[in-house]
Amino acid sequence: MKTKEWSDKHLKKLIVEQRKFMWRDDSIDMYSRWMDLRQGMTAVDVGCGLGYLGWTYWKFFGEGGKYFGLDESAALLEEADCISREWALGGTASFQQGTVYQLPYPDDFADWTMCQTLLMHLEFPKKALDEMVRITKPGGLIMCNEPDNVSSSLMQAISSEGSIPDEWAFQNHKMMKIWARGRKKLGHGDYSIALQIPMMMHDCGLIEIDSRCNDTCNFIQPPYETPRQKYFLKKAEESLKDREEDKKRGKSDFKEFYIAGGGSLSSYYRHMKRISVFNEKRKKLHREQVENKSWHRSWGASSFFCIKAKLPASRV
Ligand SMILES: C[S@@+](CC[C@H](N)C(=O)[O-])C[C@H]1O[C@@H](n2cnc3c(N)ncnc32)[C@H](O)[C@@H]1O
């Protein structure tokens, strides 16, 4: 199976731009109390990317704390190390290349082992979780921030430029389910992994398993002035632009996984064609409405979970 290189431009964009508006600051405050974070903890972030979880939670554990970021991408780690010089003050942050299937840390090493949008990309997520548990101290904390993206595809979007007909929305969801089945079958991970994690944690012998869902609600409306609204506007404009390269990439992945999941080529082309005709019409309306500041869209909340658990105080 071909592995993704997350330092590639189109993927890196996700872990840079999307992260700015991923979790609300007050939710992070609340999660840090819920997880009982303490200053001086030793934390390991697996599949750390640019170190997002490190800088996001630093103020809750960084005073005398140690953050270890591990990732398979050397290019991302180099950048993560540079960025950390600005946020890892009062403690230490270091980065190491490796695989989550064989973590380069001894048993009982960390107070807190975490990951975000890693398990959803792995062929063997339970094996990864076993490793995370191995390196965590008895009584220590595990946190997994992962999505249920298949459910997200059921989310309604209400927009001034028109919403897709109900029948197509059902078809979209059906196609997403088939696509996700194919993606998993081909070893690219479970797109709805969040729903599996509590039971996986139980099977790893973890206790006090608990889960919360990201409480961000998504809407954009004039005058598009807050940073969040500006970001959504930019994203909407980008998605309407003809980016042939991205389009080709997205479509070929989609087709490959959809067919592997049991979808037919004819249903794929039929649906893509009508969506593309609809999008062409939307594009024109969107531009006019943004210009006269009447464009708006609401699309509910995200299905993105923060799941935590503890190791028992002693290993059996
Ligand atoms: C979606 S990114 C998430 C990055 C970061 N956790 C964040 O939320 O911004 C997934 C990351 O996992 C890394 N990764 C994927 N498979 C891995 C593996 N088997 N071992 C270590 N890292 C891996 C990728 O290189 C990438 O940086």
Which of 118, 193, 304 best tests ligand 1's pocket when mutated (most atoms within 8 Å of CB)? Answer: 118
* Model confidence band, residue 156 (pLDDT cutoffs 50, 70, 90): confident
**pLDDT(243) > 60:** no
What residues have CB less than 8 Å from 303, skipping those under 6 apart? 147, 148, 149, 151, 152, 155, 194, 213
Tell me 119's DSSP state. Answer: G
Report d(CA 214, CA 18) in Å as an integer. 14
DSSP string, 216-236: -EEEE-TT--SHHHHHHHHHH
Q: What mean pLDDT comes out for the span 287-305?
A: 90
Would you say 87 and 134 are in contact if contact means Cβ atoms under 8 Å apart? Answer: no
Q: Which fold has domain 9-146+192-215+304-310?
A: Rossmann fold (3.40.50)
Which residues of the chain does CATH 3.40.50.150 include?
9-146+192-215+304-310
Measured in Å, residue 49 CA sits from the centre of ligand 1 at: 5
- β pairing state of 136-147 and 110-116: parallel
Going by alpha carbons, the residue nearest to atom 4 of ligand 1 is 49
Measured in Å, residue 65 CA sits from the centre of ligand 1 at: 22
Determine if ligand 1 sits within 6 Å of the CB of residue 97. no
**pLDDT(204) > 90:** yes
Report d(CA 291, CA 298) in Å as an integer. 19
* Model confidence band, residue 235 (pLDDT cutoffs 50, 70, 90): confident
Query: pLDDT exceeding 70 applies to what percent of the chain?
Result: 96
Going by alpha carbons, the residue nearest to atom 1 of ligand 1 is 117
Report d(CA 220, CA 232) in Å as an integer. 7
Report d(CA 113, CA 118) in Å as an integer. 13
Given the CA of residue 100, which atom of ligand 1 is nearest to it? 20
* Confidence at residue 237, expressed as pLDDT on a 0 to 100 scale: 83
Instruction: For helices 74-87 and 52-61, give the axis angle rounded to 10 degrees.
Output: 30
Q: What mean pLDDT comes out for the span 94-115?
A: 98
Measured in Å, residue 262 CA sits from the centre of ligand 1 at: 28
* Model confidence band, residue 165 (pLDDT cutoffs 50, 70, 90): confident
Determine if ligand 1 sits within 6 Å of the CB of residue 145. no
